[in-house]
Every structure is written in C-alpha cells, then in structure tokens.
Amino acid sequence: MDNMQIEISNLNKFYGKKHALQNINLSIGQGMFGLLGRNGAGKTTLMKTLATLLNKKSGDITVCGIPIQNAKEICRITGYLPQEFSMYPSMKVYEAMDYLGVLSGLDCKTRKGRIPGLLEKVNLGDHHRTKVKALSGGMKRRLGIAQAILHDPKVLIVDEPTAGLDPEERIRFRNLLCELAEERIVILSTHIVGDIEATCEDIAIMDNGKLLYKGTVKELTRTATNKVYTAEIARIELNALKEKYIVTGMLTMGERVNVRLLANEQPTTNAILCEPNIEDAYMLRMHESGVAAHQLGGNL
Ligand SMILES: Nc1ncnc2c1ncn2[C@@H]1O[C@H](COP(=O)(O)OP(=O)(O)OP(=O)(O)O)[C@@H](O)[C@H]1O
C-alpha cells in the first residue's frame, strides 16, 4: 500500500518580520482535506510550501514519505492550482493542455492518451477547440484542475477554487474535487465555510499564521452544542444583542428580525436552543481565539 500521508511538524515561515506560519503541526491523509481561514490567515503560504514553491522555512515536512527538500520528487507527485490561475489565453483548450504536457516532460503518446480523457473528466470534452479566453470562470477553474492532474499526481493542492463562481459551477467544481479525492490527497483552501461543510471530513482552521483547529467537521460542529439559539426580536433590539453576542445569521421580516446567535445561556426569554452547524462552530472557535466579532462578520 502506498504511503498516502502528508506529515507537517514544527513548520515556521517568515516573510521578513511577518511570522506567516507559526509552529504548524498537521497530518493529512487520503481524501478531501479542507483548510479554512480568513484572508491573510496563512493558507496560501502553507499550500505553496507543500508545493515546494517557497523556501527559507523551518520544520519538517514529508509528502507520501518524501522529504520536502526533495523538490523534484515532490513536484512529480503533486499538482497545484494557484488562486490566480491564468493559462495562455489565446491558445485553444487542447493546445494549451498539450503545451503544458510538453513542459512537464510528457511524451507525445502519453499526452495523446491522457488529455482527451482528462478534458472529458472536467466536463470540457466539447471544448477542445475553444480559446481559453472564451471560457467561463468555472470552465477555467476546471481546466486548471485538468492541467494540475496532467501528470497524474497523488496529491492535488487547490487554493480558493470557488471564488467568483456561480452556485451551479461551485457545486460542479466541488463534486469534481471529491471524485478526484477518491484516490488522492486533495487539499482545498477556502474562506467559504459552506464549501468545506459540503465536501470535507477532515479540516484545519488557520488564523494569523496559527492552527486554531484540526479534526473532523463533525467534532468541530459538536463544540457549539448548547450554545446556538434562534430568537425573534424587534429590529431596534438588534444592535444591543449584537454587542453582547455573536450573531451567525439573521432574517429580517418587516420590523421583526429572526436572529441566530451564540450564547452560553438563553439570551432572550423567547430564544430557542437549536442544533449547531459548522458556521456556528467556526465563529465560536474564532471568537474563542480572540478574533473580535466585527471582524468575523465578513466571513459569512
Ligand atoms: N510575499 C510576501 N511578503 C510579505 N508578506 C506576505 C507575502 N505573502 C503573504 N504575506 C503575508 O503573510 C500572511 C499570510 O498570507 P497568505 O497569502 O498565506 O494568507 P491566505 O490565508 O492565503 O489569505 P488569502 O486568501 O488572502 O490569500 C498575510 O499577512 C500576508 O499579507
């Protein structure tokens, strides 16, 4: 059986004085792994480090048994889709894939054998002759995945894949990643909690260079048990409530508001205790680690 495990220990990374990764210890196994955190948390830095794109770091990493120092071998087994992905806009889809195949050293026969199936897999089978610049955002992301797995890597690293996609494309893209994760390690970084909930069993939450949580989505969600309430209040009461509690959702109905909030005790006499979801648990974890409530609002 192949070693399908990434082991990260005592990883630190500085950009000048900025301590971007602070003593990260993490194990990632086969399947979908979600890396969740606000902008600037350190997700891209961690992913670039795993893809051997950053140097001058301290700590140990092995990817499927291979030490990270062995960059050539790591690249052979790793595919990476960066956040800002653009690829030869004036080329046609097949042409661009073929060219990238040449760059990664694949011979003609391998390229011919592999590219049509890959384009089919990412649902671009009918677009071999479409110019890259004419593809929609979602199609471009899927083409990005096709190029990242062109050399059939064991590890696929995908940074913020669903930003800017419409709901249908997001779901399609997530499903594609899940399919690929059946026989690979797929690491998906995002600041969208819903993307993680729908696809990943194991996750890590990062903030300000630190790991705030590692474990399953289920365990994380359980940490908010008995702390999530819904209540119907008058609109004018909202600000006072927001000052006291973390509000994780609200629905305005005229002068009344239905709020969902985190509280250790019943916040209003009509509040009803309810089942936590991952967003509640994420907000709770961020709050407990000292992130102010007003800074959390942008994540939902
Ligand atoms: N090349 C760099 N030089 C200096 N600081 C950097 C550099 N790259 C990233 N940083 C800083 O390191 C921190 C982590 O950045 P990183 O890009 O890893 O975060 P992120 O979680 O991926 O966020 P985002 O989703 O916005 O990319 C941020 O404070 C960022 O400003």
How many residues would you count in the chain? Answer: 300
The Cβ of residue 83 has, within 10 Å, a number of other Cβ atoms equal to 14
CB 85 within 8 A of CB 144: yes
What is the H or E stretch that residue 190 is in? strand 185-190
CA separation (Å) from 296 to 223, 227, 270? Answer: 18, 17, 26
- 21 CA to middle of ligand 1, Å? 10
Which strands make up the sheet holding 256-262, listed edge to edge?
A: 246-253, 256-262, 228-234, 272-273
> 45: Cβ below 6 Å to ligand 1?
yes
Ligand 1 centroid, distance to 210 Cα (angstroms): 13
Distances 281 to 147, 160, 190, 201, 211 between C-alpha atoms, Å: 35, 21, 16, 15, 15
Distance (angstroms) between ligand 1 centre and the Cα of 25 equals 19
Ordered domains of the chain (ranges, CATH): 5-217 (3.40.50.300), 222-299 (3.30.70)
Query: Cα(203)–Cα(28) distance, rounded to whole angstroms?
Result: 9
Provide the whole-model pTM.
Answer: 0.89
pLDDT digits (tens, 9 = 90+) for 31-85: 999 999 998 999 999 999 999 998 777 999 999 999 999 999 999 999 999 887 7
- Whether 161 is in the pocket of ligand 1, judged by its Cβ within 6 Å, is no
pLDDT in tens, 93-133: 999 999 999 988 899 999 999 999 999 988 899 999 999 99
Eight-state DSSP code of residue 272 = E
- Res 293: pLDDT: 54
Better-scored residue on pLDDT, 87 or 205: 205
